[in-house]
């Protein structure tokens, strides 16, 4: 959409490391990369889903020399994330991958006041640490190997730019991921590495179906007009964004609005287009926010009844 300055980045014969690669966005991206001739390693926990994904990827291979592998690891700790990366790099002589795509993650929307401390920490693991640990392992590896030109892609969310009721655990984790990407864009220049952040809107995946199970009614209502994109759209947006050298990649107009008006010190995708988007956002975002605020305020009595049925006022 805004790819006026497309540079070339050809994944052919490159080692691409994809976490969360057994389903949803990760699988769509891995498939796209295999079709472009890349060596692809996918990481996920569930072995059955990895096997099924590997079959899909194998069918799409361009030639026999492509290294296509699946590894079962949890990425919840640094040690596991490092072990996963080491395992995937072993067949490539231990060299850091040419490109790393961190697609692992999950969202569990909830009312803050109903969230347990354990749930709040877990959502940070699912939303932040599963990618931050992989980034730490990869950064240490590329610095030690003095590797040049490595690409790191984080996957956050439109909620890395803004937030509202229901996302008090997810939005902080995803916003933190945005700040991590911005920090590393600066620091990893020391190693000539490129850092990108993809902020997808709602994606129609199994993960999205799961997240709707715990989503507060008011949050669902605010999102009801949100059609979302397919994981394939998301994968295309990532690869197009990398080719355009975009620090922050978006796949829909709404996220572009928030991206352009939540700039921090992030480089513009296009200074003129982003300025126009920023002006639209200056008017449109407050209109949207006021309508959301009004809905939240109107929901007060319903909410108190809901808390009552949940036994919230009786618990210690």
Q: Cα dihedral sign for 83, 37, 177, 196?
A: positive
User: Which residues inside 42-101 make contact with its own copies, applying CB under 8 A?
Assistant: 77-79
CB of 238 to its own copies, least distance (A): 21
User: Which residues inside 136-175 make contact with its own copies, applying CB under 8 A?
Assistant: 136, 139-140, 143-144, 146, 159-168, 171-175
CA distance 165 to 295: 10
Q: Is 258 in the site for its own copies (CB under 8 A)?
A: yes
SS3 state of residue 71: strand
CB of 56 to its own copies, least distance (A): 33
Residue 245: CB atoms within 10 Å: 15
CB of 55 to its own copies, least distance (A): 34
The candidate with the shortest Cα–Cα distance to 137, out of 90, 86, 199, is 86
For residue 3, list its beta bridge partners. none
User: Which residues inside 260-299 make contact with its own copies, applying CB under 8 A?
Assistant: 261-268, 271, 275, 278, 281-282, 285-286, 288-289, 292-293, 296-297, 299
SS3 state of residue 167: strand
Nearer to its own copies (CB atom), residue 74 or residue 230: 74
* Binds its own copies by CB under 8 A, chosen from 12, 187, 206, 210: 187
CA distance 185 to 196: 8
User: Which residues inside 103-142 make contact with its own copies, applying CB under 8 A?
Assistant: 111-113, 115, 117, 120, 124, 128, 132-133, 135-136, 139-140
Q: Which residues are catalytic?
A: 170, 174
Q: Cα dihedral sign for 166, 168, 169, 171?
A: positive
């Amino acid at each position: 959409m805004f790819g006026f300055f497309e540079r070339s980045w050809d994944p052919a014969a490159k080692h691409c490391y994809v976490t969360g690669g057994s389903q949803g966005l990760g699988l769509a991206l891995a498939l796209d990369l295999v079709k472009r001739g890349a060596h692809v390693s996918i990481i996920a926990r569930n072995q059955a889903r990895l096997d099924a994904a590997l079959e899909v990827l194998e069918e799409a291979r361009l030639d026999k020399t492509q290294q296509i592998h699946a590894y079962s690891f949890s990425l919840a700790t640094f040690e596991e994330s490092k072990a996963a990366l080491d395992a995937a790099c072993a067949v490539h002589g231990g060299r850091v991958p040419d490109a790393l795509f961190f697609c692992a993650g999950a969202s569990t929307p909830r009312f803050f006041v109903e969230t347990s401390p354990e749930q709040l920490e877990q959502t940070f693991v699912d939303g932040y640490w599963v990618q931050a640990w992989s980034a730490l392992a990869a950064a240490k590896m590329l610095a030690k190997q003095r590797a040049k030109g490595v690409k790191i892609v984080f996957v956050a969310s439109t909620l890395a730019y803004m937030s509202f009721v229901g996302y008090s655990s997810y939005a902080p984790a995803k916003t933190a991921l945005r700040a991590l990407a911005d920090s590393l864009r600066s620091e990893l220049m020391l190693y000539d590495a490129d850092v990108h952040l993809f902020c997808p809107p709602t994606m129609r995946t199994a993960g999205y179906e799961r997240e709707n199970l715990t989503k507060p009614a008011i949050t669902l209502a605010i999102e009801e007009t949100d059609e979302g994109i397919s994981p394939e759209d998301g994968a295309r947006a990532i690869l197009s964004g990398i080719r355009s050298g975009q620090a922050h990649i978006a796949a829909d107009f709404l996220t572009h609005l928030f991206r352009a008006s939540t700039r921090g010190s992030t480089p513009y995708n296009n200074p003129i287009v982003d300025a126009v988007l920023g002006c639209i956002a200056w008017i449109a975002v407050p209109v949207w926010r006021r309508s959301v605020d009004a809905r939240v305020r109107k929901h007060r009595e319903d909410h108190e009844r809901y808390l009552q049925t949940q036994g919230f006022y009786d618990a210690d």
